Chains A and B, each alone.
Chain A
Amino acid sequence: MAESTGPLLAVEDLRVRFPVRSTGLVRRHSGEVSAVDGVSFAIGRGETLGLVGESGCGKTTTGLALLRLVEPSAGRVAFDGTEVTTLGARALRALRRRMAMIFQDPYASLNPRMSIASIITEPLEIHGLHRGRQHRRRRVGELLELVGLSPDYGNRYPHEFSGGQRQRIGIARALATEPDFIVADEPIAALDVSIQAQIMNLLEDLQDTLGLTYLFIAHDLAAVGHISDRVAVMYLGRVVEVADRAALFEAPRHPYTRALLSAVPVARPQVERRRDRIILGGEVPSAADPPSGCRFRTRCPVVFDRCSVVDPVLARQQDGHQVACHHWPGIA
């Protein structure tokens, strides 16, 4: 479209705030939660960016805000050179043909009353693609085959399928409009280990054949480390570290990333016995009332006085590794 070089998606200082209402008889607007509080990253064409973090860190909200499934409160999202946050409804719909989403729960994200064919053709109808019954039916068959299901499944209903098969159907729906970019929000979290591997392999194969760009959101660091080219780590509404997959897993720089990686169990007893775990004390503070300065300072094992005063920015190091921590150079 506008440009063919540069990143496919560029996010700058994205913020999403939700109102907090007091509980009780009269529901008053009593404050705000910044679920996403100044997130910036870029994703290159054909690249997979992994977005990791624990529950409540804002990773899902970030994914939804990119597609404007929740409205960003501030910041910019440029998709292939087009600013997404200011688009009108018609232009947004046109752009959404090129962006799709795969959801976490394959049981909740397929309408139980719709046949597989109508689930998959709904996006085609919305965007007026593959018009005509014959075309649509052929397209459903193609898509089902693409995700490793029998092309004859169109007349069946979601309850007839297992979790892994449902997730394949969700992927077929996401691929219906031939998108360039897919936000995969915890696409394997609800699946069993042996089925997770099937879905990860499918996502990788589809990326190879269709040239897709992924934002892969997950709390499972092992899965993210397997599928991603680069990884961004979120904590309490912020990105605290972004780096190439290998650099992040081999030499994490932010103390939170270090603790997070050290907490991930590895399926090797000898490795597990020798490991030094960094056990974080306490709990994640409330996003409605984040700590002053660095948001991680209340749990950080290497906190010092500057951390409570100055909020560290996500700064790019010489080798391209980005980190938001006062222990690294170039951070104001």
Chain B
Amino acid sequence: MSASEPVLSVRNLTVEIGTRRGTARVVNDISYDVHRGETVAIVGESGSGKTVSALALMRLLPEPPARVGGRVLLDGVDLLRGSERELCRIRGHRIAMVFQDPMTSLNPVLTIGQQLVEPIRLHLPLTAGAARDRAVEMLHLVGIPAPRHRLDDYPHQFSGGMRQRVMIAMALACDPEVLIADEATTALDVTTQAQIVELVAGLQDRMGMAVVWITHDLGVVAGIADRVAVMYAGQVLEEAPVDALYEDPRHPYTTGLLASVPTPGIDRPHRLFAIPGLPPDPVALPPGCPFWDRCAVRGEPRAEFTPQPLRPVGSDHQVACSCAGPAARHG
């Protein structure tokens, strides 16, 4: 897979947002590649910049107040340079996004059918009737019972899990090459989450779509990702194939994060590892490593590179830490 050209290539993406308190540096020079059929997970806690980076690469951030820099190449075409017209042809067609909150991302005054048919008519050369058939097919694909009948229902007539399925149906309606799922299952119960995860994996196998899965849930990531990028304070601190990241995490933030997750059943009562302190304020990012203040194995003095460059520590494994080595592991 990695031998081929990536479908999506994010290069040196930065996002700055002007606020009353000053400029917030929300995304600081992140780069990653996604290949056909691959799932790349972006993990991080609230405020780490994972959602903003996704909105930025879709050109969905209002500029100003946001300032977006870098390159986002979809099959070699830079999305950040395209005109709004060109983007409208690409977004929802070749690259689509599922948003976090199924309660607020659907228009409450339009039927599910109207909302599903809209992107299909916009992007595919289909008649109204054929578009409607396509919408029914998509609803069926995501497991909504009696889809033809449900097409004329309004969002409030669907449960949270069903609405998220509708969102996925909408995103997949035009066979995108890349799907960006931003906390697509976070608002859902675990049994519904399992249904949705299985659904996306099945569709991915059939359609060869690449998926960028943005989440804070390390359990979900373990089950679905091929590669993982860990974000903190707008930077990618570590990037690795999923097994390497969980079995041999190198960045002290990654090790801390993994150690703070309780494991049901396997766990014996013990104190959870808790990372002390709080993430830095994006308006007043300290120079050097953003994790230094909370780091258990930090070197002295604080490294001065901003941001810390990613350096290889294994095959396909990169880490932004000047002291990361085997010694960085927590028990």
Residues of A within 8 A of B (CB): 54-55, 162, 164, 192-198, 200-201, 204, 219, 221-226, 249-250, 259-273, 275, 277, 279-280, 283
Partner of B191, one of A54, A200, A201: A54
Report how many A-B pairs have Cβ atoms within 8 Å: 128
CA distance A107 to B154 in the complex (A): 31
Query: Closest residue of chain B to A299, judged by CB?
Result: B191
A194 with B190: CB separation less than 8 A? no
Residues of B within 8 A of A (CB): 45-46, 159-162, 189-195, 198, 216-223, 225, 242-243, 246-247, 256-258, 260-267, 269, 271-276, 278
A194 with B223: CB separation less than 8 A? no
* A219, chain B: closest CB distance, angstroms: 7
* A290, chain B: closest CB distance, angstroms: 16
**27 cross-chain CB contacts under 8 A:** A55-B160, A55-B189, A193-B216, A194-B45, A197-B274, A198-B276, A226-B264, A226-B269, A249-B265, A250-B265, A259-B191, A264-B190, A265-B190, A265-B219, A265-B220, A266-B264, A267-B218, A267-B221, A267-B222, A268-B222, A269-B242, A269-B246, A269-B247, A271-B222, A275-B223, A277-B198, A279-B194
A249 with B190: CB separation less than 8 A? no
Partner of B218, one of A164, A193, A219, A275: A193
A193 with B260: CB separation less than 8 A? yes
A222 with B219: CB separation less than 8 A? yes
B45 with A201: CB separation less than 8 A? no
* A216, chain B: closest CB distance, angstroms: 12
B264 with A260: CB separation less than 8 A? no
A219 cross-chain contacts in B, Cβ below 8 A: 189-190
* B248, chain A: closest CB distance, angstroms: 12
* A104, chain B: closest CB distance, angstroms: 14
B189 cross-chain contacts in A, Cβ below 8 A: 54-55, 219
B275 with A194: CB separation less than 8 A? yes
A265 cross-chain contacts in B, Cβ below 8 A: 190, 193, 217, 219-220, 222-223
A223 with B216: CB separation less than 8 A? no
CA distance A225 to B256 in the complex (A): 20
B243 with A222: CB separation less than 8 A? no
B272 with A283: CB separation less than 8 A? no
A261 with B265: CB separation less than 8 A? yes
CA distance A327 to B99 in the complex (A): 41
A266 with B222: CB separation less than 8 A? yes
Partner of A162, one of B218, B265, B273, B278: B278
B193 with A263: CB separation less than 8 A? yes
A266 with B266: CB separation less than 8 A? yes
B264 with A194: CB separation less than 8 A? no
A204 with B271: CB separation less than 8 A? yes
Q: Please list the 3 inter-chain residue pairs (A to B) with the smallest Cβ-Cβ separation, ordered nearest first.
A: A265-B219, A249-B265, A226-B262
* B91, chain A: closest CB distance, angstroms: 30
B257 with A193: CB separation less than 8 A? yes
A249 with B162: CB separation less than 8 A? no
Partner of A194, one of B221, B247, B274: B274
B219 with A264: CB separation less than 8 A? yes
Query: Closest residue of chain A to B259, judged by CB?
Result: A197
B219 with A225: CB separation less than 8 A? no
CA distance A194 to B216 in the complex (A): 11
Partner of B263, one of A194, A262, A266, A280: A266
B272 with A267: CB separation less than 8 A? no
* B101, chain A: closest CB distance, angstroms: 14
